[in-house]
Amino acid sequence: MKIGLTFDLRKDYLERGYSLEETAELDSEETIQGLERSLAGNGFRTERIGALPDLCRDLERGKTWDLVFNIAEGLHGLGRESAVPAVLDAWRVPYVFSDPMVLALTLHKGATKRVVRDLGLATPGFFLVERPEDVERIDLAFPLFAKPAAEGTGKGIEAASRVWNRDELEQVCAKLLDRFKQPVLVEEYLPGREFTVGVVGTGPKARVVGVMEVLLRDSAQPGAYTYSNKADYERVCEYRLVSDQAAEASAELTLAAYRGLGLRDAGRADIRLDKDGRPSFMEINALPGLNPVHSDLPIMCSLDGLSHQDLIGMIMDSALERIKGAR
């Protein structure tokens, strides 16, 4: 079986003048090579396609693949993660991971939280700031936390994201609106433990593969899993697999959100405990990072004795079973 690989290679965008922060979600050569090795180890042949323009060119030239393993994040707009799957749907080419609607929804944290709330699942109170004057309408209890509504990898999140009064909130929101040109999600700050929960599978067959607690060392930026902390995680963070009552409750919450939102094949959610120790949904990643060394989902699996090849094998099993059932 021939598997095409769609991705956005970070170095290509850096060479075109984009910054390290702008390209933070894009993939390294190490990630692509790791996927190729793990797919080969599971018995698949691979062919690099690349980014959206490369995919469109190859399709126009008549190239075909049995399945596309899609990790293309895109760079611009709220639909950037949906572009490659939408093209593949139009050409009726099957692919791994979620469809365009789910990818567009989960990229926008505010929209995701509205659906999660309607599903009856716990998520902290929130408000979406689209203009500086919207801050005046926020009626949430301080401290609050502000971050870009549609970024990943901790982009736009720093120690100053936790705000204690309206003046600080106005300053942070104005800065984020100007810097990222997108709405700002403001939510009630949760002071408890932070978990990231990995899921593999689709629908009723989706299952949690691990709950990993994120612990910040004294040298880390306090209060949050910030962009800086993620970039320097080996020095300032500690990751620990957990299975206590809070972890089990977080796994149940994640699985309910994953199924309710319609994610497929694999994903990873961030969960945080409130002041009473109850888990609350923060956000979910429908295109989880798959770097064999540095990404949270592979790290979580490795702590439980699962290799990168094992993880990719489980993702492929889900995709192939799902596609077979759809025919």
Q: Could you report the per-residue pLDDT of 253-312, keeping only the tens digit for each?
A: 999 999 999 999 999 999 999 999 999 999 999 999 999 999 999 999 999 999 999 999
Q: Name the CATH superfamily housing domain 125-188.
A: ATP-grasp fold, A domain (3.30.1490.20)
The pTM score is 0.94
- Stretch(es) of the chain classified as CATH 3.30.1490.20: 125-188
* φ, ψ for residue 266, nearest 5 deg: -170, 160
31 three-class SS: helix
Check residue 182 and give its pLDDT: 94
Instruction: Please state, in angstroms and rounded to a whole number, the distance separating the CA atoms of residues 279 and 273.
Output: 4
| Residue 296: both structure tokens together | 């949270």
146 three-class SS: strand
Q: Between the CA of residue 84 and those of 45, 75, 80, 189, 308, what are the distances in Å?
A: 21, 12, 8, 35, 24
Check residue 91 and give its pLDDT: 97
Average pLDDT over residues 75-91: 95
Check residue 232 and give its pLDDT: 81
CA atoms within 13 A on the CB side of 79: 9
Neighbour count for residue 224 (Cβ, 10 Å): 22
Q: How many percent of the chain have pLDDT more than 70? A: 99
Check residue 9 and give its pLDDT: 95
On the question of pLDDT at 326 being above 70, the answer is no
Domain spanning 2-95, CATH class: alpha beta
Confidence of residue 138 (pLDDT cuts 50, 70, 90): very high
- CA distance from start to end of the chain: 17
In the chain, the largest separation of any two C-alpha atoms, in whole Å, equals: 58
126 three-class SS: strand
- Stretch(es) of the chain classified as CATH 3.40.50.20: 2-95
Confidence of residue 38 (pLDDT cuts 50, 70, 90): very high
On the question of pLDDT at 229 being above 90, the answer is no
Task: Name the residue among 315, 182, 195, 171 with its Cα closest to residue 244.
Answer: 195
Average pLDDT, the chain: 95
Residues ≥6 apart with Cβ < 8 Å to 218: none
Average pLDDT over residues 171-198: 96
Rg (CA), the chain: 19
Check residue 327 and give its pLDDT: 59
Question: Could you tell me the fold of the domain covering 191-326?
Answer: D-amino Acid Aminotransferase; Chain A, domain 1 (3.30.470)
Q: Which residue has the tokens 């593999």?
A: 200
6 three-class SS: strand
Length in residues, the chain: 327
On the question of pLDDT at 159 being above 90, the answer is no
* φ, ψ for residue 112, nearest 5 deg: -60, -45
